[in-house]
Amino acid sequence: MNVDAVCRAIEEREAEWIALRREFHRFPELLFDVGRTAARVAHLLREYGLEVQEGVGDHFGKGVVGVLRGGKPGRTVLLRADMDALPIREIEGREYGSEIEGAMHACGHDAHTAMLLAAAYGLSRERERLSGTVRFVFQPAEEGAAPSPVDGELRSGGRDLVESGAADGIDGAFALHVWPGLETGGLAIHRREAMAASSHFRFTFRGRSGHHGAPHLAADALLMAAHFAVEANSAVAVASDPLEPVSFAFGKLQAGTAGNVIADTAEVLGTYRAFNDATVRRIRFVLERCAAACADRFGGTVDPSFRMGKALINDAAAVELAERAGADVFGAEQVRMLDQPSLAGEDFAYYLDKAPGAMLLIGVRDEARGIVHPLHHPSFDLDERAIALGAKLHARVAVTFLQRGFE
């Protein structure tokens, strides 16, 4: 197969991919509420001649999967992009700034979606020469989770799609993520541990409301939550191996309705991050036990809720393949291998339960133009020259895998 022809087809329509990214950027959608984006993705995939399945996900039904079957039999490779944005208010004054108040693509998922669509277009032009199948997966809710309407458990988009069969039968899986710490034209790949298992928790403490003049007749949920917020840090610290990286932090505490009324409910939200599955489970147990003790001490109860994270571990053979493909796109001198993992989380990890694979980090930084802000920042932006590069990398990785597998 002539992968150079695929890359040329992508390059010829670079302005279209940039315009597409800007369209997604103007209309960001949060978590599973990605109806507009998903519909646009499905429409374009059909336009490129792919088989398209909408409403993917047994719990939320918001994913889109496009299937490109080559003219010759072979392996199946999965390429993933995420579609959701963040509840962040973007700085004003940008030509293509968010038109949705309080929502912004501050993590580059708009570019991820445009890159994968561009790759689908380019590969579709050479489908008859393609040996095997490329499965393009566009998922919601990478940035968080929501209670499932089926069983009430917190689920992210990746977990929903994988549990619903979107990754069944694949032989390899790859994803890209924009990386503002790296100049445009550069690529970085973790040799093994890439990102931590980012687990989210919510503890809802329940007591009895009452008058401040008669606290003995009430059960103060705010006190329960406050003691938990203090004690949980120590409990997690002593339960963690000091030689193992663990990050634990609270993000939100909300309680009460008035300054002179004892609160009957209080919520505490936060995250913890680790790389070992046993550690992730142990910290959950410690937090649940600590919360129950704090609630009982003040005469109340507590309801825990978790979105369990999963560490993203790149496969060695997949890393080697991606390094070769990256050298073809960026030049060998522009490909960096990383040994230090990130404590950020990524639910692409669930796809790697189904097949070996890797996540690749593509540079989007341009200091001369002031494109320097980190992910999740209200001023985050990216160098749009990276979009065509990302699409070509997707294509190179897919073709290389289908032709050679993990040699």
Q: Which residues are annotated as a binding site for Mn(2+)?
A: 107, 109, 143, 177, 376
Can you tell me the distance from the alpha carbon of 160 to that of 168, in angstroms, rounded to the nearest whole number?
13
Whether the CB-CB separation of 89 and 101 falls below 8 Å is answered with yes
Angle between helices 14-26 and 35-47 (to 10 degrees): 160
Residues in CB range of 394: below 8 A, 6 or more apart: 79, 115, 116, 118, 119, 174, 176
Structure tokens at 390: 């990302």
Can you tell me the distance from the alpha carbon of 371 to that of 387, in angstroms, rounded to the nearest whole number?
15
Residues forming a β-bridge with 219: 208
Whether the CB-CB separation of 30 and 84 falls below 8 Å is answered with yes
DSSP 276-335: -HHHHHHHHHHHHHHHHHHHHHTT-EEEEEEE----EE--HHHHHHHHHHHHHHH-GGGE
DSSP 7-44: HHHHHHTHHHHHHHHHHHHHS--BTT--HHHHHHHHHH
Whether the CB-CB separation of 354 and 77 falls below 8 Å is answered with no
Residues of the binding site: 107, 109, 143, 177, 376
Q: How many other C-beta atoms lie within 10 A of the C-beta of residue 198?
A: 25
Q: How many other C-beta atoms lie within 10 A of the C-beta of residue 74?
A: 16
From the centroid of its chain, how far is CA 315? 18
Angle at the Cα of 176 from the Cα atoms of 388 and 145, rounded to 5 degrees: 130
Angle at the Cα of 172 from the Cα atoms of 365 and 134, rounded to 5 degrees: 85
Cα 133 to Cα 64, 76, 348: the distances in Å are 16, 5, 20
Can you tell me the distance from the alpha carbon of 62 to that of 389, in angstroms, rounded to the nearest whole number?
27
Residues in CB range of 370: below 8 A, 6 or more apart: none
Backbone angles phi, psi at 177, to 5 degrees: -140, 130
